[in-house]
Structure 1
Amino acid sequence: MRKAIALLSAAAAVATLGGIVGPAASAVEPDGPDLVDTGQGKLVWSSCNDTTTPALQCAMLEVPVDYADPRGRKIKIKLNRLPATAPKDKQQGPILLNPGGPGDSGLWMPGYISGQIPADVASTYDWIGFDPRGTNGSDPHVVCDAHYFDAERPDYQVDQGTSKAWLKKAAGYAADCAADWSWLLPHMTTVDNARDLDSIRRALGVTKINFYGGSWGTSLGSTYGQLFPSHVRRMVLDSIVGPTISWYDHNVLQDREHQRRFDAFADWTAKADSVYHLGTDAKAVEQAYHQVEDALRKEPADAAPSTGKIGPAEFEDTFYSGGYNFLRWPRMATVLSAYLNQHDTRPLTIAYNKYAAPGADDGAFPAYNAAQCTENAWPRDWEFWKKDQAKVDATAPFYTYNNMWYNAACMFWPYQGNPAGRLKITGKNLPPVLLFQATEDAATPYQGGLAMHDALPGSKLVVQDGGSFHEILFHGNACLDDTFTAYLRDGSLPQGKGRIAKTCAPEADPTPVYVTPPPATAKALTAARTGPLPPTDPEAVRGVLR
C-alpha cells in the first residue's frame, strides 16, 4: 500500500512547479505605491438580475495568477456590490466581505449583512461580495474530483479497516488536482487571495477599504492588513483563526472543541428525555449515537433525493455540523430518537440532505486544500498521523478521524508547505481592528481570538462568554450586533481595558422539540437542500472552516 501511495504522490509531484511555495516565495514588496502595475483588468458593473435585491450589481475582475509575474497569465474574480445610497458626503467607501471557507462564496453577503444593521449606517457603504480565486463564479472554477464526496464513503473510524481505502482516496485526490491545475493551485494561498483584495481596491479606485471576514476570512483580513496596512480603514474579524498556529495543529484543536460541543449536545438531550426518550444522562445519549452509527454500518439508510446511501461517514458529517450551530440540536436529537424508538429514518435523511449532502462537484474543497496544505509544512508520514491522531482520538473520539481524513490530502499535496508557516501578523501600522470571538466555538477555538488580539496591539476583543455559534454576529444578539454597528457608524470601539474589551452573554439553548417530518415525506425530501444553507435559515452555518 505504501508503494502504491508513493507512486501516486510521485505522479502528482511531476506536475509541480518545484520548491517551496507560500508567503516567503510569492511575496512582493508589501504596501507598495498605488502606481505599481498589477496587470489587472477593470470593473464593468451591470445588473445581477437579482429579483430579491434588484440594486445588486455584478462584475468580473481580471487579476494575475502569480503576482510575482503581473503581466503573465490571468484569471477572473467574480464580484457583486450593493451601492451606497447615502449622500456623497456621508458615504464611507467600500466594505469587502468574506464568509470563510477557505473558498466559500461571498456573493450572498452584501444583501444579507447590509440588511442586518440600521439603514442609516448600511446606506453609507458600498457592500462588496466576491468569489475567491478558483471558486464558484470566478473563472476558472477549480474542480479536482467532482465525485470525491459521493455517498457512501469509506468509514472514518480506523478500527473499521478502511485506512488503506482513505489513503488511496486522499492520494488520488491530490494527484487529480495536480494533473489539471498545477498552474493555479500553488497560487491559491491566503496571501494570493489577500493580493486579490488589493486588486479589487485598485479597481474600485479607492485608497482605503473596510473589511468584514469570518472564520478563514479572519486569516484573509489579517493577512491583507499585514501586507497593506495603509489601505485599511476599518476591519472586523469574527470567529478567529489564531495567527501563528499551524493548520495541522489547528485541526487537532478543533477535534477537542468539537468533542466538548458534542458532550454539550448529549447533556442537553439527556435533560429532555421526556421529549426524545434517549436516556437521562449524557452517556446514554452518546451511546444512542453510537448505536445508530453501528446500525448504519450494517444497513445504510436511503439518502434520496441525494444519490447513494447514508452510512457511518455520512452520519458523522450530519452530526458534526451541530458543533457550528446549536440550533440544529432539536433536529439531531430527533434523528436519534426516531431511528432508535420508531425505526424511522426519515429525520436522518432530511438532516443529511440539509447539512451534509455534497453538491454537484467538490465545491470549495480544492481551495481549502490549496490554502491549508500549501501554507504550512504538513506531516507527510502516515505512521506519524496514525500514532498522533490515535492520541487525540483517545480523548476526543467524536470528530478526530472524521477531521483527519478530511485533511488527509495534505499528506500527499504536491506543493510543499512553507516551513516558515503563514505570514507573520504584527499589526504594524494598522488602525484599530474589532475582534469577535465565542468561548465555545468549535471551528475557530477561543484561543485564536486571544492570540489575534495579542498580535494586533491596537485591536479590541469582544468575547461572547458561553457562546458557541461559529461566526457570532447577526444572530439577534444586540450586545454583539450593536457593537459592530457602532464601529461601522463612526469607528467607535469598546472602551474596556486588557485582553477583553467587552463581554456579551450567550443566546439561550434551543427549546427541546421533536421535529416531526411532514406528512408529505417525498415532497419534504425533495425540498431538503444540499450544500450550505441560506443565511436566512436559522440553522444556517456560514464560513465553515472544517
Structure 2
Amino acid sequence: MRKVIALLSAATAVAALTGTSASAAPDAAAPVDTGQGKLVWSSCNDTSTPALQCAMLDVPVDYADPHGRKIKIKVNRLPATAPKSKQQGPILLNPGGPGDSGLWMPAYISGQLPKDVASTYDWIGFDPRGTNGSEPHVVCDAHYFDGERPDYQVGQGTSKAWLKKAAGYAADCAADWSWLMPHMTTVDNARDMDSIRRALGAPKINFYGGSWGTSLGSTYGQLFPSHVRRMVLDSIVGPTISWYDHNVLQDKEHQRRFDAFAAWAAKADSVYHLGTDAAAVEKAYQQVEADLRSNPVDAAPAPGRIGPAEFEDTFYGGGYNFLRWPRMATVLSAYVTHHDTRPLNIAYNLYAAPGADDGAFPAYNAAQCTESAWPRDWEFWKKDQAKVNASAPFYTYNNMWYNAACMFWPYQGDAAGRMKITGKGLPPVLLFQATEDAATPYQGGLAMHDALPGSKLVVQNGGSFHEILFHGNACLDDTFTDYLRDGSLPKGGGRIAKTCAPEADPTPTYVTPPPALTRTTAVSPLSPTDPEAVHGVLR
C-alpha cells in the first residue's frame, strides 16, 4: 500500500517537477545563484595515478529551488602539468549509461594522448547524481537482477511475471526516492556539469562524452552555449528520437550484429565446429538457450543460476564490442560439442553477472522514463514489439523487458520529448559515429550533425565498436588529438567531413578455460579499460 500511495502522490506532482527539469531559456548562462558548494580537493589515494585528486560537490536536488535540499556529486581530476600559459582548461568526461561512473576516465583518456596535448587539460571525471560514489547512492531493488530471472521470450509464458517485476521496480523507486527521481534527468545532470564548472572557477569547459554522454553533452551545449569551448561526441544518440523508438532501432541493429557474429563463427568452423553457415551457428545459439530453460547451470561465483535470460545477457554485449566474439563462439562450441558449461560460466561472470545492487539502473530509468512519453498500455507493447521481434528476434524481448518499468514510471515526460537541440551559440562540435553501431545507431550521428550547425562528422564506415575512439585506430584517434591540441577540424565539407576504415575482425580463437577452474573460483570482472569491456551501455 505504501508503494501505491507513493506512486499516486508522485504522479500528481510530476507535471511541475518534470517541467522544471525540462524547460530552459535559450541561453541559461546568465549568472544565477545555484546554491552549490565548493570543491575541496584531496588525494584519491590511487596508487596507479598518485596525482589524481577527489572531491565532493554539493548541488541542489532541484535547480528551481537552489537553496533547498542538497545532494553530493563525486568529482575527480587529473590536473594539467603544462605551463600555465599553455593550459586549456578543464575537460569534463562522461562514458554514458545513463548513470555510468566517469571516475576512471581522467587517467585512462589522458593516457591515450600525446603528452604535449594531455598535459594542457585538467581532466575531470564525475559520478552522475544518485549513482556510484555520489551521495545518495540510489538503490531501488538491490536484487532486481539476481538470477535466475524469468525468460525474456513472451512465448514462454513469463509476461505476467515480468510485468509484475517491472511494476514493482517502479513502485520501489517511487516509494523510497520520490524526492529525487524526478530530478535525475539529462537536464539535471547537465546543470550539475555547470555546477562543476562554476566550482572549478572556469569560464568555459571542454567536454568528451560517449553514448548517453552525447545526449548529456548536447543538452549542456543547449543550456549553456557560452560556456562551451570544445566538445566531442562519440557514438551518438539522435537528438529528437523518443527513447522507445530508439530501442526499436537498437533491436534491428543488434540483429545485424548477431548475424555478423554468426557469419564470422561459421567461417571458423575448424575452430568452433558450429557449422559452416551462419544459420547453423544461430541454431546452436537457440539450442543452448532452449536447453538452459530445462537445465539452468550454476552461476558461481555469481549468485543464482544461468537460465535463458542470463544467457541472452551474456551475448548481447557482442553488439557493442566484437572483441568478445571469440569467447562467445567458445561458449557455444564448448556447450554444443562437449556439454562443457565452464566457458558459459566464465563469460556470464565477466559480462552479465549482477553487482552488489541494481547499479546504474535507477539512473537509467529516471532519465529515459521521465524524458519521453512512453506507451502505457501493455497491449500496445505486446503487438508492436511482436512486429519488431519478427525480424529481429535476437534482442527485441530482452530490450523490451529491460525498459518495461517505463510502462509504470510515475514521472513521465510529455509528448514534446527531450530538449530540442539547435546548436545555437555553440562552437564547432566534433562528432564520431560508426555505421554498424548497435547501441547508438548510425542515424543518430547524422541527425546530431544536422542539428548542430558547424559540427564536423567523422564516420567509421563498417565500424561497429560502441564508442569508437581509443581502440588503436589512428584515423579516428589522431582527429580527436588534433582537435584537442588546437581546435583543428577535418577539412571535408558535406554531411560527412571524414571517413575512417574499420578495425579487422578478431582472429578466431578457442578461449580455453583455466584447467584448475572450480565452481568456487572467482572470476575477475572486466575493468573499464579492458579490450573486451563495454563502455557507455545505453540499452
The question of a shared fold, defined as TM-score above 0.5 by the shorter chain, is answered with yes
Counterparts of 1:20-419 in structure 2 under 5 Å?
20=15, 24-26=19-21, 27-29=23-25, 31-32=27-28, 35-419=31-415
Distance change in 2, residues 1:525/1:266 (3 Å): farther
For 1:124 and 1:19, the matched residues in 2 are separated by: 44
Deviations 1:114-141 (A, max 9, x none): 0001011000000000000000000000
What secondary structure is seen at the aligned counterpart in 2 of 1:453? Answer: helix
Q: 1:14 aligns with which of 9, 12, 33?
A: 9
Report the CA distance shift for 1:473/1:341 in structure 2 as closer, same or farther (over 3 A).
Answer: same
State the number of aligned residues: 538
Secondary structure in 1 matching 2:210: strand
CA distance in 2, matches of 1:187, 1:30: 20
- List per-residue Cα deviations over 1:4-44 (Å, max 9, x = no partner): 9xx97675233445242676433354534553110000010
Identity of aligned residues (%): 85
TM-aligned CA deviation for residue 178 of structure 1: 0.2
Query: Shift of residue 420 of structure 1?
Result: 1.0
The whole-number CA distance in structure 1 between the counterparts of 2:145 and 2:412 is: 25
Change in Cα spacing, 1:353 to 1:205, as seen in structure 2 (3 Å) is same
> For 2:84 and 2:411, how far apart are their aligned partners in 1?
47
Q: Which moved more, 1:30-39 or 1:144-153?
A: 30-39
2:517 to 512, 521, 538: 521
The equivalent residue for 1:468 is: 464
Structure-2 residue corresponding to 1:534: 527
> What is the match of residue 504 of structure 1?
500
**Cα separation, 2, equivalents of 1:264 and 1:387:** 28
Question: 1:22·1:375 contact (CA, 8 Å) conserved in 2?
Answer: no
Q: Secondary structure at the match of 2:73?
A: strand
Distance 1:514 1:424, change over 3 A: same
CA drift of 1:100 comes to 0.2
Deviation per CA, 1:438-458, whole angstroms, max 9, x where unpaired?
000000000000000000011
Q: CA RMSD for the aligned pairs?
A: 1.5
> How much does 1:501 deviate?
0.2
Shift of 1:270: 0.4
State the Cα distance separating 1:45 from its structure 2 match.
0.3
Structure-2 residue corresponding to 1:493: 489
**1:544 equivalenced with 2:537 (yes/no):** yes
Deviation at 1:419, TM superposition (A): 2.0
TM-score by length of 1: 0.97
Give SS of 1:61's match: strand
Measured in 2, the distance between the counterparts of 1:315 and 1:32 equals 46
2: distance between equivalents of 1:404 and 1:349? 25
Amino acid paired to 1:485 = T
Contact kept, 8 Å, 1:9 with 1:171, in 2: the verdict is no
1:528 and 1:277 map into 2 onto residues whose CA distance is 28
User: Structure 2 CA distance, aligned partners of 1:35 and 1:470?
Assistant: 37
TM-score norm. by structure 2 comes to 0.98
Aligned AA for 2:310? E
Distance 1:239 1:23, change over 3 A: farther
1:362 Cα deviation after fit: 0.2
Partners of 1:478 and 1:88 lie apart in 2 by 29
Alpha carbons 2:28, 2:223 under 8 Å: kept: no
Question: Unpaired segments of 5 or more residues in structure 1?
Answer: none
Shift of 1:87: 0.2
- With over 3 angstroms needed to count, the CA separation of the structure-2 counterparts of 1:98 and 1:231, relative to structure 1, is same
1:442 aligns with 438
